């Protein structure tokens, strides 16, 4: 998503992987469902057919609204309802030429160099009773990362000097298998707000200075980078994963409250926009959930800030940060 040429390459690569056959295993026995994806297999997503209705014209990737300043303490469409409103800095130190006042050009943004494979990558989802248990090594399944720390010879170094090293780490999420809407929405924390189906942790849309992280921070070609403890993470749906989500509705992850995160497209293949969603960046509509067609709440990925989750619609689990 950082360059249109690169995105085409990802699509071709994923078609080649599909032709070779996935290494994904799945089973459903009684009330237990499992999905396992390991390095060398294909990420597991669920697509539905049909048409998604949108209420606004698609946004231009060349002029995306910059999310800077769209941080608050109450739910608002197009904002992050943040638990933390005081920021200590960090992230990119120099605005890139892809930022133009109140907009930014995603197609012109550079990426951190490198193509590092992670053979230990894994992503496993199991549902037993009322719990959805997700385990991951927090490095991308089937995709590569850039080279971190960012080298002084990398053009990205002129804007972002991320000094951190990616550290694979075993993480377990125990989420409600059947999440429910809370009496009122709650703020999103810094650190993990969910997990995506490429096996990588999802952070909210903010960088260490409380700015639009996807716009300011220079990420690798699959839209990720490590923080100070080495935890690799995304701030939006990464281009590698987005390239596999070509249907009208595709499950690409889970938020900490248990609700699914979906990529949804209209009949022309366009992503939904903020105008189609509520203050938490989601909506209630028919989706595929654990193999069944159900009408339920879910978060929706957009090209616009805040990208995935603006606030929690349900009750999030605590991840210790």
What is the per-residue pLDDT for 35? 53
106 to 43, 103, 148: CA distances (angstroms): 24, 10, 21
Q: Is the per-residue pLDDT at 72 higher than 80? A: yes
More confident call, 177 vs 15:
177
DSSP 85: -
- Does a structural domain hold residue 311? no
- Does a structural domain hold residue 314? no
Range of the domain at 82: 4-300
Domain count, the chain: 1
3-state helix, strand, coil in the chain (%, to 5): 10, 30, 60
Judge contact between 125 and 40, C-beta under 8 A: no
What is the per-residue pLDDT for 319? 75
Beta bridge partners of 64: 104
- Does a structural domain hold residue 261? yes
- Does a structural domain hold residue 319? no
- Which region among 46-55, 121-130, 133-142 has the lowest average model confidence (pLDDT)? 46-55
Question: What would the mean pLDDT of 154-161 be, rounded to a whole number?
Answer: 98
What is the per-residue pLDDT for 57? 80
Token pair, residue 311, equals 């606030």
- Does a structural domain hold residue 57? yes
112: three-class secondary structure by DSSP: strand
Token pair, residue 150, equals 């960012």
Distance, in Å, from the CA atom of 316 to the CA atom of 173, rounded to the nearest integer, reads 11
Percentage of the chain modeled with pLDDT above 90? 79
Question: What would the mean pLDDT of 89-103 be, rounded to a whole number?
Answer: 93
Question: What would the mean pLDDT of 41-67 be, rounded to a whole number?
Answer: 69
> Average per-residue pLDDT in the chain?
87
Q: Is the per-residue pLDDT at 48 higher than 80? A: no
Radius of gyration (C-alpha) of the chain in whole angstroms: 18
Q: Is the per-residue pLDDT at 141 higher than 90? A: yes
Judge contact between 300 and 282, C-beta under 8 A: yes
Q: Sign of the CA dihedral 306, 312, 317, 321?
A: positive
Q: Is the per-residue pLDDT at 37 higher than 80? A: no
Judge contact between 282 and 297, C-beta under 8 A: yes
Question: What would the mean pLDDT of 204-232 be, rounded to a whole number?
Answer: 97
Distance, in Å, from the CA atom of 237 to the CA atom of 265, rounded to the nearest integer, reads 14
For 86-208, strand residue ranges (E) read 99-100, 103-104, 122-128, 131-136, 171-176, 192-196, 201-203
Token pair, residue 65, equals 């609204």
Per-residue pLDDT band for 16 (boundaries 50, 70, 90) equals very low
- Does a structural domain hold residue 307? no
Question: What would the mean pLDDT of 88-115 be, rounded to a whole number?
Answer: 95
More confident call, 258 vs 25:
258
Distance, in Å, from the CA atom of 98 to the CA atom of 107, rounded to the nearest integer, reads 8
Question: What would the mean pLDDT of 49-54 be, rounded to a whole number?
Answer: 52
- Does a structural domain hold residue 310? no
Question: What would the mean pLDDT of 57-62 be, rounded to a whole number?
Answer: 90
Per-residue pLDDT band for 91 (boundaries 50, 70, 90) equals confident
Q: Is the pTM of this model over 0.95?
A: no
Per-residue pLDDT band for 13 (boundaries 50, 70, 90) equals very low
Q: Is the per-residue pLDDT at 304 higher than 70? A: yes
Per-residue pLDDT band for 50 (boundaries 50, 70, 90) equals very low
Q: Is the per-residue pLDDT at 245 higher than 70? A: yes
DSSP 61: T
Q: Is the per-residue pLDDT at 138 higher than 90? A: yes
Q: Is the per-residue pLDDT at 40 higher than 60? A: no
Question: What would the mean pLDDT of 84-105 be, rounded to a whole number?
Answer: 93
- Does a structural domain hold residue 316? no
Token pair, residue 123, equals 């992503």
Question: What would the mean pLDDT of 60-85 be, rounded to a whole number?
Answer: 96
């Amino acid at each position: 998503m950082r360059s249109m040429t690169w995105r085409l390459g990802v699509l071709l690569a994923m078609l080649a992987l599909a032709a070779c056959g996935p290494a994904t295993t799945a089973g459903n026995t009684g009330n237990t469902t499992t999905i396992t994806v390991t390095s060398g297999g294909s990420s597991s997503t669920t697509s539905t057919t049909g048409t998604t209705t949108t209420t606004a014209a698609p946004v231009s990737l060349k002029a995306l609204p910059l999310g800077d300043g769209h941080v608050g303490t109450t739910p608002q469409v197009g904002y992050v309802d943040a638990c933390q409103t005081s920021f200590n800095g960090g992230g990119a130190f120099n605005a890139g030429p892809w930022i133009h006042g109140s907009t930014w050009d995603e197609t012109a943004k550079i990426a951190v160099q490198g193509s590092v494979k992670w053979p230990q990558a894994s992503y496993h989802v199991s549902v037993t009773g009322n719990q959805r248990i997700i385990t991951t090594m927090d490095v991308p399944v089937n995709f590569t990362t850039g080279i971190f720390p960012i080298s002084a010879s990398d053009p990205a170094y002129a804007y972002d000097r991320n000094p951190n090293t990616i550290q694979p780490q075993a993480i377990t999420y125990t989420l409600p298998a059947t999440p429910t809407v809370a009496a009122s929405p709650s703020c999103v924390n810094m650190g993990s707000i969910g997990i995506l189906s490429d096996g990588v942790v999802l952070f909210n849309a903010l960088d260490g200075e409380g700015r639009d992280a996807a716009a300011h921070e220079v990420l690798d070609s699959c839209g990720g980078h490590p923080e100070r403890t080495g935890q690799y993470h995304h701030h939006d749906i990464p281009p590698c994963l987005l390239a596999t989500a070509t249907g009208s509705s595709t499950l690409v992850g889970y938020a900490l409250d248990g609700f699914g995160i979906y990529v949804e497209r209209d009949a022309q293949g366009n992503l939904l926009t903020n105008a189609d969603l509520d203050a938490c960046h989601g909506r209630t509509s028919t989706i595929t959930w654990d193999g069944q067609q159900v009408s339920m709440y879910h978060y929706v990925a957009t090209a616009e800030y805040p990208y995935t989750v603006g606030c929690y619609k349900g009750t999030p689990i605590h991840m210790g940060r």
